[in-house]
Amino acid sequence: MSPRQDRPGQAAERRFLLAPFDVRTTRRVHFADGDAQHARVVLRMVAGDTCIGIDGAGHAWPLLLTRVEKRGVEAELAGPAVSEPAPGALGAALPWIEVAVAMPRASHAEEMIDSLVQLGAAALVPLVCERSQAAARFEGAGRRERWHRISSEACKQSGRLWNLQISDALSIEALAQRGPATWVRCDPRASTADLGPLDAARCDRAHPLVLLIGPEGGFTPAEELRLDAAGAHAIRLGPHILRTETAAVAALAVLVARLQQP
């Protein structure tokens, strides 16, 4: 089947998440449920259209749609995969950066996650602090499902090939017990925005670079002592006090600008 060229506004670069498949045994793939409905109902795509399929694990393929029906969207691989190293792996553009943040409420958290994915965070750790508000401590299944959906949409929009990893909520103490890591924290009282001799070359999934963002009201003195004991680098992002979601995005942008590889 040849790709159709007669559809006005056709966007061959549209990206869709694929249902799990084994590339060694098949060249026929199916869209994940939500993406199948979006392609069929919203975009009105039909057999013969082309697009990009991603698996969320570092691979993307050019696709040719072969069947668009209410029960699903099927496509065939139309070329070799494009692969991207995992964050922190040899050849990756960024180290493995985890954003450990006291989650803000509702839409603020969702907008923050969208931006963190676009910037290149490898993982999100909801951080439970002494001053975390009750709403920020709550992690219902529906809320986490929505976070994953927002992350997936941000991956497709930005061309990112690795899904954001979202962990269970952790306290600072529990975070420290996971193992070796390099910690960076935002502190409006810090003397500088300079990260100093930060060695991110060794920051992979086994030794992550963890960016810590506290709740409204900041970390308590006891939490600050724990962060200092862990050797956290303290950076100042500007002369004003930032909202949690603003600090998370701004701090990650600083790290990405400093640490990205060509």
157 & 75 share domain = no
Q: What are the pLDDT digits (tens) for 31-40? A: 998 999 999 9
145 & 174 share domain = yes
Averaged pLDDT, 75-91: 95
Q: Determine contact, residues 159/59, Cβ cutoff 8 Å.
A: no
Which structural domain range is residue 204 located in?
A: 97-259
Q: Determine contact, residues 211/251, Cβ cutoff 8 Å.
A: yes
132 & 211 share domain = yes
Number of domains within the chain: 2
106 & 75 share domain = no
Query: How crowded is residue 225: how many other Cβ atoms within 10 Å of its Cβ?
Result: 11
Instruction: Specify the CATH number for the domain of residue 66.
Output: 2.40.240.20
Q: What is the pLDDT of residue 195?
A: 67
Q: Determine contact, residues 110/117, Cβ cutoff 8 Å.
A: no
Query: How crowded is residue 36: how many other Cβ atoms within 10 Å of its Cβ?
Result: 22
Q: Residues 74, 20, 151, 180: what is their CA dihedral angle, to the nearest 10 degrees? A: -160
Q: What are the pLDDT digits (tens) for 239-249? A: 888 899 999 99
229 & 105 share domain = yes
Task: Please state the length of the chain.
Answer: 262
Averaged pLDDT, 124-152: 83
103 & 153 share domain = yes
Q: Does residue 90 form part of some domain?
A: no
Domain boundary (54, 83, 112) is at 83
129 & 208 share domain = yes
103 & 212 share domain = yes
| Nearest to 10, CA basis, from 52, 71, 66 | 52
pLDDT at 125 over 70: yes
Q: Exposed, middle or buried: residue 173 (CB in 10 Å: 0-12, 13-18, 19+)?
A: exposed
Measured between alpha carbons, how far is 158 from 52 in angstroms, rounded to an integer? 13
